[in-house]
Chains A and B, each alone.
Chain A
Amino acid sequence: MMAYKKRHDNRAVDETRPIIAKAGVIKKADGSAYFSIGKTAAYAAVYGPREMHPKFMQDARRGVLRCNYNMMPFSGMGERVRPGPNRRSKEISMVTEKALLPVVDLDDYPYAVVDVFIELPQTDAGSRCAGICAAAIALADAGIRMKDMVAAVSVGQVEDLLVVDLDYEEEAHEEGDVADIPLAMIPSTGEITLLQMDGKITKENLLKAIALGKPVLQRIAEIQRKALKEKFDNHGDNNE
């Protein structure tokens, strides 16, 4: 049996799959974005601030951020994904919310809610990270005050190799241990806002994997900012 020394798609260990990011893709939403990394694609639509219903969830001190993560029925690799909320999507909605909350400032909007809908038409591992990246662009596009973007990527270990942005083949690697660690970071301060883990890894390697991911997250944040700016560049060109 061959040890996993080289990634199956010949990527460098700190190389992500190709990324495409766009802002303002959904006309009717207050803010929206598309973010794809390899075969994983996410749309995010932001509505609000708007009146919060049900009323008992309103907060008199500040606005509420409400995220919803949803995998479309045809988005999986084989079987149809059963539509509607399930245990996994509820958890991911919650961690997405908590990953974004440290940057958004909703103090001016008591009783109101900002709704973020994340839809995934196609997934190949790393979907929550793609969702967070899309949601951050969409929130900024909606004009929500936020002190920085949030960039997210997964890091991990396949056998003895520390890697960034695992795809499904690496995540499902069966010949040895795999650790999959979704990571989200505020680029300007380096604070981590999402850290989950699936699999086995030593403490030393966990820290090494996070260190490997940080510069990648900075690059992703640049891509997110560029996407927002391009929205306004294109606008000018179309009308000239």
Chain B
Amino acid sequence: MGLLVKERSVVVPGEVLAEGLDFLPSNGTYRHEEKILANQLGLLVVDGKVLKTIPLSGRYLPKKNDIVIGRVMDITMMGWRFEINSPYTSLLSMKEGSFDFIPKNANLSKYYALDDHAVLEIIKVTSQNLVDLTAKGPGLRKLKGGQIIKVNTHKVPRIIGKKGSMVSMLKKATGCKIIVGQNGLVWVQGEPKSEILAVDTIHKIESESHLPGLTERIKSHLEQTLGIKIEAEPDQPEEER
């Protein structure tokens, strides 16, 4: 009776997590007769009586209010079609594309050309997963220069950290501009050497995020590589050593 697996352990589909009626199933778990089983690979979280899992893998599913990084894959009569690293493409309408007035018959590639990248917000997702975007909002813009890397979308919260602590530490230590999209695309721009360090560190966060003591490990990794001390409120980072 009761819980059969330790909290925060990796659970796999079909694994019996609990027996009896003491617990309730939630995301990533389901009830079969008297048992609660996992139906997705993930880390088990016990929240009071509720058993759920944090997924460790899987593609990005668009969600309303998510900030994503997209690539223009097509230009239509009504706006732009963006590829957002998901099974579904998304539409940016002319109205949501720019604060400027876009006249009739305007050449839309003046605003976003094919293969341009942009930070966008998802404003609507229908039941059939048709996705609408907006480019109007704080921080939303076209991306110029820098590089874009792909990470596991479920690791994005780890890369951002609590209230953005991880990504701001990374920005301060490397001096790079970094934008993390919920869809697992990360834009990095800065000095070539620090850009490489930022990308390496992001991949390190991604691969070690399920192990405890992540922030400390990343901090010492940055300190070692840069040879500087990172304070809670560090000064301007040194340029190149």
Residues of A that sit less than 8 Å from B by CB: 30-31, 48-51, 60, 63, 103, 105, 108-112, 140-149, 186-189, 221, 225, 228-229, 232, 235-236, 239
Determine which of A51, A147, A236 lies in contact with B13 in the assembled complex, contact meaning CB atoms within 8 Å.
A147
Given A50-B87, A146-B39: A239 touches B207 (CB 8 Å cut-off) = yes
Contact of B210 with A111 in the complex, beta carbons under 8 Å: no
Q: Are B87 and A225 in contact (CB under 8 A)?
A: no
Looking at B50-58, B101-109, B191-199, B223-231, the stretch in contact with chain A turns out to be: B50-58
Interface contact B57-A149, CB-CB below 8 Å: no
* Residues of chain B at the chain A interface (Cβ within 8 Å): 10, 12-16, 28, 30, 32, 37, 39-41, 55-59, 61, 87-89, 128-129, 154, 207-208, 210-211
Chain A residues near B39 (CB-CB < 8 A)? 105, 145-148
Does the CB pair B57–A30 fall under 8 Å?
Answer: yes
Q: Can you sample 13 A-B contacts with CB below 8 Å? A: A103-B13, A109-B129, A110-B128, A110-B129, A140-B12, A143-B59, A145-B40, A148-B37, A188-B14, A188-B16, A189-B32, A232-B210, A236-B210
Is A143 a contact partner of B57 (Cβ separation < 8 A)? Answer: yes
Q: Complex Cα distance A64/B59, Å?
A: 15
Contact call B128/A60, Cβ cutoff below 8 A: yes
CA distance A51 to B74 in the complex (A): 15
Q: Are B128 and A111 neighbours in the complex by a CB distance under 8 Å?
A: yes
Closest to A148 in B: B14
Known contacts A111-B129, A140-B41; 15 further A-B pairs (Cβ under 8 A): A48-B87, A109-B61, A110-B128, A111-B88, A140-B12, A143-B41, A145-B13, A148-B13, A148-B14, A149-B12, A149-B13, A188-B16, A188-B37, A225-B15, A228-B12
Inter-chain CB contacts under 8 Å: number:
95
Distance between Cα atoms of A147 and B39 in the complex (Å): 4
Q: Are A108 and B10 in contact (CB under 8 A)?
A: no
Chain B residues with Cβ below 8 Å from A148 are 13-14, 37, 39
| Alpha-carbon separation in the docked complex, A118 to B87 (Å) | 22
Determine whether the beta carbon of A149 is less than 8 Å from that of B14.
yes
A112 touches B41 (CB 8 A): no
Contact between B12 and A225 (Cβ–Cβ < 8 Å)?
yes
Q: Which residue of B lies closest to A112 (CB)?
A: B87
Is the pair B58, A229 in contact by a Cβ cutoff of 8 Å?
no
Q: Closest 5 CB pairs between A and B?
A: A143-B58, A148-B14, A143-B57, A112-B87, A49-B87
Is B87 within 8 A of A51, CB to CB? Answer: yes
Q: Is the CB of B129 within 8 A of A221?
A: no
A65→B16 CA distance, assembly (Å) = 25
CB distance from A218 to the nearest CB of B (A): 11
